[in-house]
């Protein structure tokens, strides 16, 4: 864990510092009156006058104490605070999307596997391929056009309507829900295809196993064979996938958060990148990778809980 | 040098691939796109940058099949020229990813021990990053250029290939024929490139095809966000950016480029899956 995390910080630091140009230049470009002295003062203020390895050491030492430095943006607020206020939005949006995604993809995959080569299976295969190929941002635009512009049923930007502070609690919640429908469906659709396909192939693998033949041979009804014997084993690898899907979800949040104007981490990152806000960008990269690490760890624990072979060390 | 055994292998492969209707359809689309982008300057009636401020945001008509954009440029023309960009990015990025992934996978699988350990930890670390964030940051900081885009997409997309190749090498290196060549005195390099790599090619081929599709998608998303292919060079992604701005008045700016991306990516996926199915011994029935 710790070496992995150090590796993450090192790559983040190197990647960000490969690029030519310094953040100070951005501020100078906007203000032609800055003198050479003022420029040096700025560089000193941000610690940019020291050699790179010193800058890295200082940065990592601060990271260990959860100090991500101060944002370059006006106000110079601590990066941690800026990220903290954005994380809940992105995280809850992605968790809702993940639940919907798994809730839809798992039954689809299982059904396609049990009814292999039927019309349903073939139809699903076609749907899955199209799902792979459709760019999420295009899907977002189409849904926006259809439900937002043409039909006018759903709001297309932000999380709340104007004046939502004055709403009653139920009204406020319904308003939020309405705003969430489009972004959540787009986020969930992103990996729906891959997941249902994966579910189908693990289910097919399991059905071919000897213990399934045994279960059938001893005369169990098909229902019990599928749900009690096959399904449990087929679901195991999906737990791992849960952990692996974290970086994709976080990465995807840039796209739908900018399209739907949702104040989350993706939008913050995009803004930070555009303004060359180094501490902010590095902070989000580290936290994003850290979230993935946490996701993988959770998946490992979940796997151990679900699979007695691993729990008892016989895997 | 084609031995009898090799030609038999290709025959079996081709027979399986040919009978897969999805794969053949994908292949035909891929080839058509190639010709379309090669012939782009000759078959389009307008130039990709021809402004026509009297015909701005015109809906599809017989003069402009896919309508015009906010500067009066012909959308179909720009899309055909955009195909060239997409294919270029797709192939170069996937090529870079496949080469890096294959080399790292070969080295890691062949030399195992601490070399393998270090390389695989590196893969683990790279896999932790939300790739799209990484690409976004690097390109925005380096400056927009189609070359940076291809290189960065390639540099962040090799990990899957490395893992696949390594797994394949691990099983191949224990086979008897590798022992036999080693006993005959072949060096490491010869064993790796002459005897292991050709037998580990199937996952590489599949990842390369799927990688092209993935790179096309990533490029279009980047261009859509305004940090991809710099305008005025047309790309499917940056046509969609103006599609977003004018979504209330000009649906054609959004519909057609998106369809083009979907069809292209779908075609590469189908070919990739077709190759996988044709090579996968588990599907032997």
How many whole angstroms separate alpha carbon B196 and alpha carbon B173?
Answer: 7
Distances (CA, A) of B165 to B101, B111, B161, B190, B203: 8, 13, 6, 17, 7
**What pLDDT score was predicted for residue A130?**
86
For residue A78, the cross-strand partners are: A70
Query: Does the beta-carbon distance from B133 to A288 stay under 8 Å?
Result: yes
Query: Does the beta-carbon distance from B266 to A130 stay under 8 Å?
Result: yes
Average pLDDT estimate for A168-193: 84
Q: Is the pLDDT score of A124 beyond 50? A: yes
**What pLDDT score was predicted for residue B122?**
93
- CB B72, CB B54: distance < 8 Å: yes
Q: Which residue has the higher pLDDT, B42 or B1?
A: B42
Q: Is the pLDDT score of A23 beyond 70? A: no
Query: Does the beta-carbon distance from A142 to B254 stay under 8 Å?
Result: yes
Q: What are phi and psi of B57, to 5 degrees?
A: 50, 45
**What pLDDT score was predicted for residue B143?**
80
Residue B285: band (very low, low, confident or very high) from pLDDT cuts 50, 70, 90 = very low
The nearest CA of chain A is from the CA of B74 a distance in Å of: 20
Collapsed DSSP state (helix, strand, coil) of residue B233: coil
Query: Does the beta-carbon distance from B262 to A135 stay under 8 Å?
Result: yes
Angle ∠(A187,B240,B269) on CA atoms, nearest 5:
60
H helical segments located in A157-264: 169-207, 210-217, 222-224, 231-244, 246-259
Query: Does the beta-carbon distance from B129 to A134 stay under 8 Å?
Result: no
Q: What are phi and psi of B184, to 5 degrees?
A: -75, -5
**What pLDDT score was predicted for residue A315?**
44
Q: Is the pLDDT score of A158 beyond 90? A: no
- Gyration radius from chain A CA atoms: 24
- Condensed to tens digits (0 to 9), the pLDDT of residues B37-69 reads 888 888 877 888 777 777 777 888 887 888 888
Nearest to B261 among A3, A135, A248 (CB): A135
**What pLDDT score was predicted for residue B4?**
61
- Helix axis angle, A79-114 to A231-244, nearest 10°: 150
Mutation target to probe the A interface, by most A beta carbons within 10 A, among B23, B128, B263 is B128
Average pLDDT estimate for B185-197: 88
Q: Which of residues 167-226 of B touch A (CB under 8 A)?
A: 213, 217, 220-221, 224-225
**What pLDDT score was predicted for residue B158?**
94
Nearest to B132 among A12, A129, A252 (CB): A252
Averaged confidence pLDDT in chain A: 83
User: Which residues on A lie below 8 Å from B134 (Cβ)?
Assistant: 15, 285
User: Which residues on A lie below 8 Å from B217 (Cβ)?
Assistant: 135
Nearest to A134 among B125, B132, B262 (CB): B262
Angle ∠(B111,A293,B134) on CA atoms, nearest 5:
85
Average pLDDT estimate for A106-126: 87
Query: Does the beta-carbon distance from B125 to A11 stay under 8 Å?
Result: yes
Percent of chain B with pLDDT over 90: 35
Angle ∠(A83,A89,A91) on CA atoms, nearest 5:
85
Average pLDDT estimate for B256-262: 93
How many whole angstroms separate alpha carbon B74 and alpha carbon B60?
Answer: 10
Collapsed DSSP state (helix, strand, coil) of residue B26: helix
The nearest CA of chain A is from the CA of B140 a distance in Å of: 6
Residue A31: band (very low, low, confident or very high) from pLDDT cuts 50, 70, 90 = low
- Condensed to tens digits (0 to 9), the pLDDT of residues A232-261 reads 888 888 888 877 788 888 888 888 888 888
Q: What are phi and psi of A78, to 5 degrees?
A: -60, 140
**What pLDDT score was predicted for residue A28?**
62
B266 touching A (Cβ < 8 Å): yes
Percent of chain B with pLDDT over 70: 95
Q: Is the pLDDT score of A162 beyond 80? A: no
| pTM, to two decimals | 0.86
For residue A7, the chain B residue with the least C-alpha distance is B125
- Gyration radius from chain B CA atoms: 22
Query: Other C-beta atoms within 10 Å of B226: how many?
Result: 16
Mutation target to probe the B interface, by most B beta carbons within 10 A, among A134, A138, A156, A245 is A138
What are the b/e assignments for B139-155, b being 16+ CB within 10 Å? bbbbebebebbbbbbbb
How many whole angstroms separate alpha carbon B108 and alpha carbon B167?
Answer: 9
Name, of B12-21, B239-248, B255-264, the range with top average pLDDT.
B255-264
User: Which residues on B lie below 8 Å from A298 (Cβ)?
Assistant: none
The nearest CA of chain B is from the CA of A169 a distance in Å of: 32
User: Which residues on B lie below 8 Å from A254 (Cβ)?
Assistant: 132-133, 136, 225
- Condensed to tens digits (0 to 9), the pLDDT of residues A49-96 reads 778 888 888 888 888 888 888 887 777 788 888 888 888 889 889 889
Lowest model confidence (mean pLDDT) among A168-172, A306-310, B40-44, B67-71: A306-310
Q: What are phi and psi of A125, to 5 degrees?
A: -60, -45
Residue B284: band (very low, low, confident or very high) from pLDDT cuts 50, 70, 90 = very low
Average pLDDT estimate for A32-41: 72
Name, of A165-169, A230-234, B118-122, the range with top average pLDDT.
B118-122
Nearest to B262 among A19, A133, A285 (CB): A133
Nearest to A247 among B128, B261, B273 (CB): B128
Q: Is the pLDDT score of B144 beyond 70? A: yes
- Condensed to tens digits (0 to 9), the pLDDT of residues A130-146 reads 888 899 899 988 988 88
Q: Is the pLDDT score of B281 beyond 60? A: no
Collapsed DSSP state (helix, strand, coil) of residue A115: coil
For residue B212, the chain A residue with the least C-alpha distance is A133
Collapsed DSSP state (helix, strand, coil) of residue B146: helix
How many whole angstroms separate alpha carbon B166 and alpha carbon B158?
Answer: 12
Q: Is the pLDDT score of B282 beyond 70? A: no
- ipTM, 2 decimals? 0.84
Average pLDDT estimate for B135-164: 90
Average pLDDT estimate for B21-43: 89
For residue B273, the chain A residue with the least C-alpha distance is A129
For residue B260, the chain A residue with the least C-alpha distance is A134
Q: Which residue has the higher pLDDT, A39 or B154?
A: B154
How many whole angstroms separate alpha carbon A24 and alpha carbon A11?
Answer: 22
Q: What are phi and psi of B68, to 5 degrees?
A: -125, 160
- DSSP state, residue B39: S
**Phi-psi map region of B151: left, alpha, beta (phi>0 left; psi -120 to 50 alpha):** alpha
């Amino acid at each position: 864990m710790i070496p992995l995390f150090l590796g993450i910080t090192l790559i983040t630091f190197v990647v960000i510092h490969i690029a030519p140009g310094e953040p100070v230049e951005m501020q100078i470009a906007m203000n032609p009156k800055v003198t050479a002295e003022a420029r040096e003062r700025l560089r000193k203020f941000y610690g940019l006058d020291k050699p790179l390895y010193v800058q890295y050491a200082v940065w990592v030492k601060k990271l260990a104490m959860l100090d991500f430095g101060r944002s370059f943006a006006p106000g110079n607020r601590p990066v941690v605070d800026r990220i903290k206020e954005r994380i809940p939005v992105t995280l809850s949006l992605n968790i809702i999307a993940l639940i919907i995604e798994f809730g839809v993809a798992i039954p689809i995959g299982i059904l396609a596997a049990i009814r292999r080569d039927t019309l349903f299976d073939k139809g699903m295969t076609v749907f899955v391929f199209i799902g792979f190929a459709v760019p999420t941002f295009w899907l977002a635009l189409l849904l926006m056009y259809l439900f937002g512009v043409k039909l006018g049923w759903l709001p297309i930007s932000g999380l709340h309507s104007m004046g939502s502070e004055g709403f009653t609690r139920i009204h406020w919640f319904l308003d939020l829900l309405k705003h969430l429908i489009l972004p959540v469906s787009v986020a969930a659709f992103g990996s729906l295809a891959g997941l249902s396909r994966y579910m189908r192939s693990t289910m097919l693998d399991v059905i071919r196993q000897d213990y399934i033949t045994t279960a059938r041979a001893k005369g169990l009804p098909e229902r019990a064979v599928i749900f009690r014997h096959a399904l449990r084993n087929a679901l195991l690898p999906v737990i791992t996938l849960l952990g692996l899907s974290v970086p994709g979800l976080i990465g995807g949040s840039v796209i739908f958060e900018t399209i739907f104007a949702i104040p989350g981490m993706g939008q913050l990152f995009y803004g930070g990148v555009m303004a060359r806000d180094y501490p902010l960008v590095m902070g989000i990269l580290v936290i994003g990778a850290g979230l993935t690490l946490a996701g993988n760890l959770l998946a490992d624990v979940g796997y151990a809980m679900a699979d007695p072979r691993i729990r008892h060390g016989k895997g | 040098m084609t031995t009898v055994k090799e030609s038999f292998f290709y025959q079996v492969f081709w027979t399986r691939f040919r009978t897969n209707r999805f794969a053949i359809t994908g292949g035909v689309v891929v080839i058509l796109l190639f010709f379309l982008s090669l012939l782009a300057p000759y078959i389009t009636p307008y130039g990709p940058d021809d402004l026509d401020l009297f015909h701005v945001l015109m809906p599809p008509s017989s003069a402009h099949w896919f309508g015009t954009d906010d500067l009066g440029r012909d959308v179909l023309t720009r899309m055909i020229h955009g195909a060239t960009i997409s294919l270029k990015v797709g192939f170069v990025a996937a090529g870079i990813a496949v080469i890096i992934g294959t080399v790292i996978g070969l080295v890691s699988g062949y030399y195992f021990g601490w070399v393998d350990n270090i390389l695989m930890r590196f893969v683990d670390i790279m896999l932790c990053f939300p790739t799209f964030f990484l690409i976004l940051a690097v390109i925005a900081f380096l400056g927009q250029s189609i070359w940076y885009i291809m290189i960065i997409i390639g540099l962040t997309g090799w990990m899957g290939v490395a893992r696949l190749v390594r797994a394949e090498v691990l099983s191949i290196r224990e086979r008897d024929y590798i022992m036999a060549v080693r006993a005959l005195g072949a060096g490491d390099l010869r064993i790796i490139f002459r005897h292991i790599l050709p037998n580990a090619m199937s996952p590489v081929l599949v990842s390369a095809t799927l990688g092209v599709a993935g790179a096309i998608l990533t490029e279009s998303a980047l261009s859509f966000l305004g940090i991809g292919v710099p305008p005025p060079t047309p790309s499917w992604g940056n046509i969609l950016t103006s599609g977003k701005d004018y979504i209330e008045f000009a649906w054609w700016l959004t519909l057609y480029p998106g369809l083009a991306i979907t069809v292209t990516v779908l075609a590469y996926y189908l070919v990739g899956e077709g190759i996988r199915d044709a090579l996968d011994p588990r599907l032997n029935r």
